[in-house]
Structure formats: structure tokens, C-alpha cells
Amino acid sequence: MEYQELNLPSRTIMTPGPVEADPRVLRALSTPIIGQFDPQFLNLMDETSDLLRYVFQTSNHRAFPVDGTSRSGLEAVLTSIIEPGDKVLVPVFGRFGYLLTEMVDRAGGQTHMMEAEWGQVYDPQDVIAEIKKINPKVVAVVHGETSTGRMQPLEEIGAFCRENDILFVVDAVATLAGVEFNTDEWNVDAVITGTQKCLAVPTGMAPLTYNDRIEEILLARKKIERGLSYDAVNDKKIQSNYFDLSQIQDYWSPDRLNHHTESTTMLYALREGLRVIKEEGIKSRIDRHTKHGKALSLGLKAMGVELFGEEENKLPVVTIVKVPEGISEQAVRQTMLNQFGIEIAGAFGPLKGKVWRIGSMGYSSRKNNILRVLSALESTLTYFGAKVNKGDAVQATLEYYAEADNPVIYKV
């Protein structure tokens, strides 16, 4: 058998992740390797922490990536702060909320789960009422649920947790750098993101930040150094070596105490992705995501398909479309991929087979991608016999862009 050199088709990726990486990031990925303790590389680590503080909107001392996909960061935080028996409240409103409950459980915590119907989010006052009832050590919640396309308001919950000395941990995997997220202002103690969504970098790192309230717990659970031997007598010890944030933070400190071997290549990519964000400006980037998310929704409505969930709590970077009666969810996705080279996503759990999930994240959040996905979906639905308003989606979206891009010229 002969194995050919990689030669893949180019794709337009309109899923909730992974999305297209910024071309500058792809170029950075081909930079030659240097050693993890090379002073040039140490400098790149410091710059990455600085850039992360900017994107997370925080003055936290600790801001670095964990190597692994987004869940590695989630697991690192939860495993490092949860001790056996600790009460953790998780308000679940989709698949990734359940992931948090699984991690809490594996860390030995006592999960108190709230469950909302898929498509709903929580009134913050309901979460606060539950916190009062349970009195947990930690509240862990997803900000943007990619499984349902919904976004949970965080500010009131954060303020209540801080006033009552409860730790507030947030999964901002789908939202950071695409939707407003203010770590410090919203009193979030630890926040974790992923690289493959609004950061426009390939999957493989989980940037996170946390404050002194979290660090205090890490230090109390820290492995006691006795040369290189492992101290088995610390009964508060963090269960995992790979996800032990007390050790990872030492690696990311000026001491550079070796924990793992950093992926220099992924760090080049993350740093470049963050540099692109800094150049674009976090506010402009969020405005761009908002604009293209609106364009997509507006085009879909003009096409005559139905959107899932209420507008009020919509996650701006993920739009969920109901599959019309009599149409095969899978056949439409396959046709879009095979005939148009455009990828959209199916769904999980109760929504499986019933909806498509269309992302507009990171480098994929741009006008030509939105117009392409709308025209390909319309043609594919027409091909399979669905009733759609032919031509309306792209026309309505072009008009929207004409006004949004040139408000003055358009009005003259």
C-alpha cells in the first residue's frame, strides 16, 4: 500500500469548532522548533501570558495554556481545586454542562446539578436561590453552550459568589474573543477557553486564567518538594500529575520548574492568534462576530427556515436551524460538504437529527463564508425538495452588509 503525501481539499468550515485557522497562525505553525528553555522561547511564553491577560480582560497574575484540548483546561482547574466531598453546583443547560458534572464527579466532588430544558438558560436569580440552598464551595457553569446555541448571563451570579466567598469557574471555550467576556469585572475566579473556536487557532491548547483565591487552594495542595521524589503523605494532594496546576504554574513562572515538555509549535500558533486579536482589538473583534452572527440569522429567516431557541439568550457565534419536515439532516450536511466543500454540524442528545448547528467563529466569521453557507444551504434544501424562499437569503444578507459596512454611504 502506498501512502500519499497529504493533499486535502480546501473547506469552508462553519461548525461550532474547529473552525478555519487564521492564515498567519498557519504560517507560525511552520516556524522551526527551538528548545523549551531557550531564552527566546521563554520570552514567547511571557508574551503569550501578557496577550492572554488582554484577551481575558484580567489583571490576574496567572494566565497560561494547558497542553491538550479545551477540556484539559477544564479538568486542570476542577481537579486542582476540588477535594473529595467538596460541594459543587453545576447549572446544566446542554452537553458541555454535563461534561463539567462528570469532571467534578471524577475529582471526588459532590455534584449538585440543576438541569434546564435544552434551548433554555437560567434566570440568574434561580441559580442564586440554589446556591443559597446548597452553599457550595464552587459554582461551575458554561458561558456559551455550543450544543444548544445559548448563552448564560454571568454577572449577577459572579457578584453573588464573590460576596459569599464561593468560587466561580466558567467554561468560556466557545465565547472568548467572539463574545464579550470580562473576567475581573464579572468576578470570575477561573476561566478556561479553547483555541479552535473564536481564537482561530487549531485545537490543542486550553488557555486559562485564575486569581489568588484559586491559587491559595493550589498552594495548600502543592506537592512538597523532596528532591525529585513524590510526597505521598500530603493527603490534600491533587489527584492528577498532568493537570496539577500548582506544578504547571511553576513551569509558567520565572523559575521555569520543569513539569511537561511545552509544545513550542502550538505556542507559536497561540501567540500569533492572540497577536491577531490584539491588532484587531477585542471590541472590534466582538463587533465583527456580532455582525456576521446577525447576518447569518437574518439570511436564514429570509430563506424561510426556522431557528431554534429564543432570540434573547442566543449565543451570537452559533446559530441553530431546525431541519424542515421530511428532510434528512445527514443528507443535507453530506451534500453541503461533498458538493460545496462547506461543513456545518449536526447535534447531540435531544437535538440529534432535528437541527443543524452553524458556527460563525474566529477566522470563519467573515462575509464570504456567511454568503457561501446561506447559498449552499438554500440550494441543497431546494435539491431535496424543501420549500424555501429562493434567492431571498443572499439578497437580504447583501443588503444588511451594505448598510452595516457603509452606514453613511448607504443612507445617502
Cβ nearer to ligand PLP, comparing 92 with 303: 92
Measure the CA–CA gap between 94 and 119, rounded to whole angstroms.
8
Q: How far is the CB of 80 from ligand PLP (least distance, A)?
A: 17
- Grid cell locating 123: 434566570
Instruction: Please report which helix (H) or strand (E) contains residue 322, including its range.
Output: strand 318-322
> Which of left, alpha, beta for 32 (phi over 0: left; psi -120 to 50: alpha)?
beta
Cβ nearer to ligand PLP, comparing 17 with 124: 17
Q: Where are the beta strands (DSSP E) in 132-267?
A: 138-142, 144-145, 150-151, 167-171, 190-192, 205-210
> Which of left, alpha, beta for 176 (phi over 0: left; psi -120 to 50: alpha)?
beta
Cβ nearer to ligand PLP, comparing 77 with 386: 77
Cβ nearer to ligand PLP, comparing 146 with 360: 146
Under 8 Å between Cβ of 260 and 336: no
Q: How far is the CB of 112 from ligand PLP (least distance, A)?
A: 20
Under 8 Å between Cβ of 143 and 115: no
Helices (H) and strands (E) in the chain, counts: 14, 13
Name, in order, each residue with C-beta under 8 angstroms of 226's C-beta and a sequence gap of 6 or more.
Answer: none
Cβ nearer to ligand PLP, comparing 146 with 290: 146
Summarize as ranges the residues that interact with ligand PLP (CB under 6 A). Answer: 17, 69-71, 96, 142, 146, 171, 173-174, 194, 203
Cβ nearer to ligand PLP, comparing 71 with 221: 71
What DSSP designation does 180 have? -
Q: Taking Cα atoms as reference points, which of 191, 167, 165 lies closest to residue 180? A: 191
What DSSP designation does 350 have? G
Measure the CA–CA gap between 12 and 218, rounded to whole angstroms.
42
Could you tell me the sign of the dihedral formed by the alpha carbons of 39, 42, 48, 51, in that order?
Answer: negative
387-389-395 Cα angle (round to 5) = 155
Helices 264-280, 39-56: axis angle to 10 degrees equals: 40
- Of the CA atoms within 13 Å of residue 357, those in its CB half-sphere come to 26
Amino acid at 208: L
Cβ nearer to ligand PLP, comparing 201 with 376: 201
Under 8 Å between Cβ of 124 and 156: yes
Cβ nearer to ligand PLP, comparing 199 with 386: 199
Under 8 Å between Cβ of 55 and 277: yes
Q: How far is the CB of 238 from ligand PLP (least distance, A)?
A: 20
| Coil, helix or strand at residue 224 | coil
Q: Match 473552525 to its residue by C-alpha cell.
A: 19
18 prior amide bond cis, ω within 30: yes
Q: How far is the CB of 142 from ligand PLP (least distance, A)?
A: 5
Cβ nearer to ligand PLP, comparing 18 with 136: 18
